[in-house]
Every structure is written in C-alpha cells, then in structure tokens.
Amino acid sequence: MDVYPDVYSKLALALVSAQVAKQSLVSEFGVGEDLPFTFFGWREGNLVAIMAFSQELMGLSITDRFPTVQKVGEVLRRLYWVDGITFVAEGFQSLDLGSTKGKRLAAEFANNNRNVHECVTVSHVVINGKNQPDSTLVSIPYDYVVGRDLVWGESIAYSKGVGRVLLDSPVIALLALCLKMDVVDVVLDEFDAVLETVVRDGVNIQEFGSRFDDDE
C-alpha cells in the first residue's frame, strides 16, 4: 500500500484525482456536470477509504446534505479510525480578492465577473497535537472550452488552521468535529451493517484494505 506521509502529498493525490474525474464528467455529460462531494480517509499516512456522494444526494440543498456529511465523517473516524480527512468539492474562486471582498462569489460569477472562476477545492483537515483542528485548502480554477474540454488555472494553497478555511466551510468544520470523536471497536458484522446504511443513504464507498485483515 502506498504511503502519503505529509499533507501536501495527500492534497496532490486528491487534486489530481479530482481533475481527472472532472474532465471525465465533462467529456461524458457536457458543461455543468459537477463533481460529487468526495471524502478521502487517512490513517497513519495510508489511504483507507474513499466515500463519494451519489448524484441524487448532490441534488439536495447543502443543508439537507449535512446529515450525510456528518454520518460519513463519523464512520471514517469511529469505524475506520482515520486521523485525517481530505474533502473534495466544487466552488468559486476570486482572482482579485480586493474587488470581491464581502460579495457572494456565486452571484459575481453569474454576473460575469471576469475575476471569478469556477474551481475545484481540496481541503485536508486533521486534529493537531493541541487537540485543535488544522486545515489546508488547495483551490484550482478552470474554464470550459469548445469540445467538452477544460483549461485549468494556477492552483492556490491556503493554510489557516482554525481560521478562514474552517470558518468559510461548514463542511470542513463538521469534519473537524467528527475527527475529535473517539474510535470504537466493533466486530466485522457490525462494521458491515453500518456501511450498508451509509450506502443506502446514497454514498459510494471504496476501501483500500480492511481494518480486519489482521484478524482473518
């Protein structure tokens, strides 16, 4: 199993994966097809699971998605024993923070503000040695071009700890709370039963090895 020891290698893996997935969606379905919420779960530098929302879930409002975000965060922490979560989503990025300060970027984009672009954001959240959340965000803008293709801009990284990254994203703040939960020890049947409920909620799960391998 490959090991990704630092935050930058984790962010790079998630970002490249997101770019490939975004291009595939655009090539197949055309402009406007957004990436689903995707969560990479890490334990001691190893990628142990990826969970992604279904298109049906993505059709709900952000508020209505929160209960499932919390369930994913709890399962990753309590059952998979992860110590870090990388969250992939889409949003809007300003290339001129001064001109868009205090404004809703989605509205500015709709009004054809040339400084605002659609983007993919990758946020990595952990609990540090002081038992406080740390988060690092990488954002990369993109533009659609003729022929169902994308042109990617320059990536921008932010590392603000409990500052702007967490305050600007209630999803990241929720994941940080989940990472502060205690892990639980369950038998395989109980583990599988919980995962079944998550799948029924519309979450796709890909595992990379099993926490129970050593017990088999």
SS3 106: helix
Range of the domain at 167: 7-215
SS3 120: strand
Is position 56 within any domain? yes
What was the pLDDT predicted at 216? Answer: 44
Is position 2 within any domain? no
Is position 53 within any domain? yes
Is position 147 within any domain? yes
Is position 87 within any domain? yes
Q: How many Cα atoms are found within 13 Å in the side-chain-facing hemisphere of 68? A: 26
- The rounded distance, in Å, linking the Cα atoms of 126 and 86 is 9
Q: Please answer whether residues 131 and 114 qualify as being in contact, where contact means their C-beta atoms are separated by less than 8 angstroms.
A: no
What is the pTM (predicted TM-score) of this model? Answer: 0.88
Is position 1 within any domain? no
Is position 178 within any domain? yes
What was the pLDDT predicted at 160? Answer: 57
SS (H, E, C) 154-167: CCEEEECCCCHHHH
Q: Please answer whether residues 142 and 105 qualify as being in contact, where contact means their C-beta atoms are separated by less than 8 angstroms.
A: no
Residue-by-residue pLDDT tens, the chain, 216 positions = 567 888 889 999 999 999 999 989 888 877 667 899 999 999 988 999 999 999 999 999 989 999 999 999 999 999 999 999 999 998 888 777 777 777 787 788 888 888 788 889 999 999 888 888 888 888 888 888 877 788 888 887 776 554 444 435 789 889 999 999 999 999 999 999 999 999 999 999 999 876 666 554
SS3 14: helix
According to DSSP, residue 3 is labeled B
How many structural domains compose the chain? 1
**How many C-beta neighbours within 10 Å does residue 124 have?**
24
- The rounded distance, in Å, linking the Cα atoms of 18 and 121 is 9
Q: What are phi and psi of 188, to 5 degrees?
A: -60, -40
